[in-house]
Amino acid sequence: MKTFHKGGVHPNDNKLNADAPAQVLPFDGPYCILVSQHLGAPSTPIVKKGDKVKRGQPLTENQAFLSSVVHAPVSGTVQNVAEAPDAGNFARPAIFIQPDGDEAEDFISDDPTLDREIRLSPAEIIERVKAMGIVGLGGACFPTHVKLSIPKDCKADYLLVNGVECEPYLIDDYRLMLDKPDEILVGVSILMKALSVDKAIIGIEANKPKAIALLKEKAAAYDGISVEALKMKYPQGAEKQLVKALTGREVPSGKLPINAGCVIQNVGTCFAVYEAVQKHKPLTERLVTVTGPMVKEPRNFWVKIGTPVSALVEACGGLPENTGKIIAGGPMMGKALPHLNVPVTKGLSALLLLPDEQAHRGTVAHCIRCGKCVAACPMGLEPYLLHAAVLHQRMDLCEHHHITDCIECGCCQYTCPSFRPLLDTLRLGKNKVNQIIRNRNTTK
Amino acid sequence: MSDEKSVSRKLVVSGSPHIHGPESVAKIMWGVVIALLPALAVSIYYFGLPAVRTILVSTAACMACEWLIQRFLLKKPCSLKDGSAVITGLLLAFNLPATLPWWMTVLGAMAAIGLAKMAYGGLGNNPFNPALVGRVFLLISFPVAMTTWPQPIDQANPEFVLNAADALTGPTPLSLIKENLQQGISVDESLRTLGVTPLELLTGHRAGSLGEVSVLAILLGGLFLLWRRIITWHIPVAFLGSAFVFAAILYAADPQAFLPPGFSLLTGGIMLGAFFMATDMVTSPMTPWGKIVFGLGCGLLTILIRNFGAYPGGVSFAILIMNAFVPLINRGFKPKRYGC
C-alpha cells in the first residue's frame, strides 16, 4: 500500500461519528456571513442594511484574481453589515441576515437527480467556479479557480483528489464520499476537463474501507479516474505528502504542486464544483462534524455557512460540563476557539470538543536531543534546531535551515517527549523569515 | 449569553497541535531503567551482596547529588522523577567492579552527576555521557581498585563477602590476554588456558564490571529498548558491526597477536556500551546516518584502544571521544529534505 516515506506520526484516529449519517441542521437565524472566507485579497460587501436578498445571491465582490466571494445562504433581510469575531477572535467585517421564507435565485436548480453531462467549456467552468465562491474545503480555503488556472510554464499531468482525512476525529469527507459518490466523481470529471488532464487519482486512507470500495466500484464507469488506498499516516492529506504518496513525485522546495505536474482538490471541493457547475449552486453549505470524547451524540451536519457554532453544539446535546477546549478543525492543525460565538465558514470541517484533562499541555522540559522531531518531520527539517534558533532570535539561521519549508503539521510537537512548544516557535520564525525575505525582495 | 461568558472563562486557547503522542521524558528514562533490570539481576546473581551495595550506593549518590545541586546551587524544582539520575546511577554501577570501596563509588557518582551533567545545566545539556565520565574519573584516580575484579560467586558453594580484600579476585579475560601478550604469550595460547567458554561469556560467568558480564541479559534489555522505540538499531549495529569487521581484519593479519572478532564482541563492556551507553539520546547524533557514523567511530576506536592502547577495554574512551564529535556529526549529517 502506498504512502509518503519521510517522517509522519500515527495518532489514534478516533473516528467517533463515522456511522452517523449527515443530517440538516435547522437554524432560524440570524446568520453571520464573514465577508472574506478565503485566502487572498479581501472582498467588499455589495449589500447594505435593510436589503432583501435571495438564497444564492452574491453578497460581496472582488476584482482581484486571487480572491473569492460569498453568497446568501438563505433568503431574507440584511440585518446589519458590521464586525464579527472569526476563529482567531479577530473582528472581521460580516453580513448578518435574518431569514425570511425561501426565495432562491432563478439560476439555481434544486433538482437532486444526478447530472452527468458536462456542458460547459473549460474556461466557462473556471469562470463558474469563481462566481460560485468555491474555495478549497480541506481547510486552507485557497480559491479553487486559481488552482484551475495553470501558469503558462507548467503542465498538469494529474488531478489528485484528497479523500485522505488523516487528521484524527475528522470524518466529514468520509461521510460525503459515502453519501455523494456519484456527484464527487462527476465533480472530478469536471475538474479534469477544466485542467485538461486525463488522469485523476482519488487517495483514501486505509481506515475507510467502505469509502474505498464504494468509490472504486463507481469510478469504474468514469474514464481515467482511479482510487488508491493509502497506508494510514499523518500528515498524508498535506498537499506535498499526498503528491509523494500518489505519484512518487516531490514538489520542489518553495514551489507549488503544479510544479510537479499535480493539482490537488479535496473531495468536498469536488462535490461543491459539481453543485456549482451542474446545478449552478453557490457554496453556501458544507458538512461539519461535531465530535469529541465526551460529546453525548457525535453527529455530522449539513450546515449553512454563517450559522454560529453554538447552534452545532446545541444540536449535539449542549456543551459537556468538562469541556476544556473547542477546536475548529482537527486536533493536529485546528484552531482553538475562544468562545462559541463564531460563525461557520467555508473552511470549517469539524468542531472538536476536548475535555479539560486533554486541553492542557504537558510541563516543558529541556530538549533531550532524542531526535524524534527530526524523524517525525515530513519535510526533512530539524525542528529542534529551528526551535533553538527562533528562541535565540537567529532568523538568519532559521532561513539557512529552511524554516520556510515547514508545513505546520505539528508532528514535531506531537512527538516531543519534553513537551517543547516546537510548532509555536517555528510558526513565529517562519512568519518573521517570510517577512524578512519579502522586505529584501522589495528593497532590491 | 451569560452561559457563553462562563464558558469562555475556562476554555483553553493554544496553538495546534492539540494532542500529544504517548512519549514523555520520564517514560523514556524509566523504560531504560526497566531495560537494565535483566543485567542487574545477573550481576546480583554472580557477584552477590557487593553488587547490591555498589548499585545502591551509586544510585543513591547520583540521586542525592542531583537533588542537592538542583536545590541549592541551581535553585530549581526537583528533577529526580524524570529518572535520568537513576539511570546514571545504575550505569555507573554497571561499569564498576562489584567490590569497589563505597566511598569511591560516591566520588564517581559526584563526578558523573556534578561534573558531567549538572555543571552543564542538567539533563539534555551534557555533551558527554555522565556515567562514563564517572567511570573514567575513577579509572584514572584509582587504577588499582578499578581493575581489581571479583570472580563470580561459585553458585554450588556460595560465600557471601562484602570487602574487596576478602573476595576472590582475578583479571577479566581481556586484561589477562593483554598481560600475557606483553609477556610474549600468544592470543591462541591465552584463549586455551583462559578457561572461559563462550556460553559463560553469554550468561556472564566471568570477572568484570558488575553489569557488563552477561551478554544475554544486555541483549534482552537492548531488544526491549528497540521494541519500545527508545533506541533505534543504527548505533548498536554500526558499533558492533564496525568493531567486528575491524577486529576480523586484525585477526586475519595476525591471529597470534589479535583476538578473534567473535570473542571481541563477547568480552569487555562492548555490549553494554553499544546498547546502553552509546545510545544515550543526549550525547548521540540526531539523524540515522549521523548515528551510523557515530557507531562506526565507536567500534573502530574500541578495537583500536583495546589492541594498541594502554587499556584492555576501550569502550568508555571510545564513546567519550565520539561524544565530542556529536555536534560536528549533527552538522554534517542532515536529514534529506523533501523536494531537494
ipTM of predicted complex: 0.89
CA distance linking residue B24 with residue B215, whole number of Å: 29
Instruction: Please say if the pLDDT value at position B160 is more than 60.
Output: no
Specify the pLDDT at position B2.
Answer: 41
CA distance linking residue B215 with residue B271, whole number of Å: 6
Residues A200-220, mean pLDDT to the nearest whole number: 93
CA-based torsion, A303, A307, A308, A312: positive or negative: negative
Residues A330-354, mean pLDDT to the nearest whole number: 92
Q: Inspect the interface and report whether the beta carbons of B11 and A418 lie closer than 8 Å.
A: no
| A424 in B contact zone (CB under 8 Å) | yes
CA distance linking residue B318 with residue B320, whole number of Å: 6
B118 band by pLDDT with thresholds 50, 70 and 90: very high
The answer for residues whose C-beta is within 8 angstroms of residue B108's C-beta and 6 or more apart is B58, B92, B96, B134, B135, B137, B138
A317 band by pLDDT with thresholds 50, 70 and 90: confident
Instruction: Please say if the pLDDT value at position B205 is more than 90.
Output: no
Instruction: Please say if the pLDDT value at position B228 is more than 90.
Output: yes
Specify the pLDDT at position B264.
Answer: 86
Q: Which residues of A touch B27 (CB under 8 A)?
A: 417
Residues B63-68, mean pLDDT to the nearest whole number: 96
Specify the pLDDT at position A354.
Answer: 93
Counting one residue from chain A and one from chain B, the pairs whose CB atoms sit within 8 A come to 162
Q: A135-181, pLDDT tens digit by residue?
A: 999 878 899 999 999 988 888 999 999 999 999 999 999 999 999 99
B23 band by pLDDT with thresholds 50, 70 and 90: very high
Length of chain B: 340
Cell numbers for A320: 459537556
> Has residue B178 been placed in a domain?
no
Instruction: Show the domain range for B224.
Output: 212-331
Percentage of chain B modeled with pLDDT above 90: 61
Instruction: Please say if the pLDDT value at position B5 is more than 50.
Output: no
Q: B300-337, pLDDT tens digit by residue?
A: 999 999 888 878 778 999 999 999 999 999 999 999 99
Q: Inspect the interface and report whether the beta carbons of B338 and A6 lie closer than 8 Å.
A: yes
Specify the pLDDT at position B167.
Answer: 61
Q: Could you tell me the fold of the domain covering A122-278?
A: Rossmann fold (3.40.50)
B105 touches B58 (CB < 8 A): yes
B289 band by pLDDT with thresholds 50, 70 and 90: very high
Segments making up each domain of chain A, as ranges: 27-99, 122-278, 301-359, 372-443
Specify the pLDDT at position B25.
Answer: 93
For all residues of chain B together, what is the average pLDDT? 88
- Least reliable range by pLDDT among A302-306, A386-390, B204-208, B285-289: B204-208
Specify the pLDDT at position B154.
Answer: 66
Q: Inspect the interface and report whether the beta carbons of B12 and A380 lie closer than 8 Å.
A: no
Specify the pLDDT at position B1.
Answer: 39
Residues of B with CB under 8 A from a CB of A: 4, 7-8, 10-21, 23-25, 27-28, 82, 121-125, 281-287, 334-340
| A365 in B contact zone (CB under 8 Å) | yes
B149 touches B50 (CB < 8 A): no
Candidates 2.40.50.100, 3.40.950.10, 3.30.565.10, 3.40.1190.20; CATH matching A27-99: 2.40.50.100
Q: Which residues of B touch A410 (CB under 8 A)?
A: 16-17
Q: What is the pTM of this model?
A: 0.90
Q: Per DSSP, what are the bridge partners of residue B251?
A: none
Q: With CA atoms as reference, report the closest residue to A172 among A39, A263, A272, A38.
A: A272
Instruction: Please say if the pLDDT value at position A33 is more than 80.
Output: yes
Question: Most A CBs within 10 Å: which of B1, B3, B20, as the mutation test of the A interface?
Answer: B20
B7 touches A339 (CB < 8 A): yes
CA distance linking residue A412 with residue B330, whole number of Å: 18
Helix (H) or strand (E) holding B54: helix B25-68
Determine the distance in angstroms separating the CA of A252 from the nearest CA of chain B, rounded to an integer: 4
Percentage of chain A modeled with pLDDT above 90: 66
Q: Inspect the interface and report whether the beta carbons of A423 and B17 lie closer than 8 Å.
A: yes
Residues B190-205, mean pLDDT to the nearest whole number: 78
For all residues of chain A together, what is the average pLDDT? 91
CA distance linking residue B201 with residue B230, whole number of Å: 26
Q: Inspect the interface and report whether the beta carbons of B287 and A323 lie closer than 8 Å.
A: no
B163 band by pLDDT with thresholds 50, 70 and 90: low
> Has residue B234 been placed in a domain?
yes
Q: Inspect the interface and report whether the beta carbons of A380 and B4 lie closer than 8 Å.
A: no
* Structural domain total, chain B: 1
Residues A248-267, mean pLDDT to the nearest whole number: 92
Q: With CA atoms as reference, report the closest residue to A377 among B291, B279, B335, B293.
A: B335
B157 band by pLDDT with thresholds 50, 70 and 90: low
Percentage of chain B modeled with pLDDT above 70: 93
Q: Inspect the interface and report whether the beta carbons of A370 and B122 lie closer than 8 Å.
A: no
Q: What is the DSSP letter of A361?
A: P
DSSP per-residue letters across A399-425: HHTTGGG-----HHHHH-TT---HHHH
In b/e form, how buried is each residue of B91-110, taking b as 16+ CB within 10 angstroms? bbbbbbbbbbeeebbbbbbb
Q: Inspect the interface and report whether the beta carbons of B121 and A354 lie closer than 8 Å.
A: no
- Least reliable range by pLDDT among A11-25, B108-122, B172-186, B326-340: B172-186
Q: Inspect the interface and report whether the beta carbons of B18 and A252 lie closer than 8 Å.
A: no
